[in-house]
Amino acid sequence: MTKVIFYEKPGCIGNEQQKALLARSGHKLDVRDMTTIPWTPEMLRSFFGSRPVHLWFNQSSPRLKSGEICTDKINEIDALALMCQDPLLIRRPLLEVNGRREIGFETSIINDWIGLDMSASAVGEGCPKSNM
């Protein structure tokens, strides 16, 4: 059994489905509310790896949808500062297992990393609701 630290937005239906798949796959979850974590740029940066900055963002965020934030024109430093101020901008979930950190719920990456019960129905990372 693998312990997965799972940073979520409480009440997010997508996160609920993701947690259920991880639990069905035999993983033990340590669930944390990402909106209450005192994020620093260094802490957040460690989840993003080599992904381009625009892939760090929650595409369902009203601030992105409205055009207030244009993710293809923002630099890393500004993106991290915005996310520390407004954690709902962060693509979720954030996952941590044995020191390795990842962002989002890309099932192929997670399956290769810790294993998933792929016989279950598809679970992605999009938010089934339109409000983040």
Please indicate whether residue 12 is annotated as part of the active site. Answer: yes
Tokens representing residue 28 in the block: 């033990």
| Active-site position among 12, 70, 84, 127 | 12
Contact 95, 4 (CB under 8 A): yes
Q: Which long-range contacts (CB under 8 A, 24 or more apart) does 42-51 make?
A: 44/80, 44/83, 44/84, 44/90, 45/76, 45/80, 46/101, 47/94, 47/96, 47/101, 47/102, 47/103, 48/103, 49/101, 49/102, 49/103, 51/103
In the chain, % helix, strand, coil (3-state, to 5) comes to 35, 15, 45
- Any idea which residues carry the catalytic annotation? 12
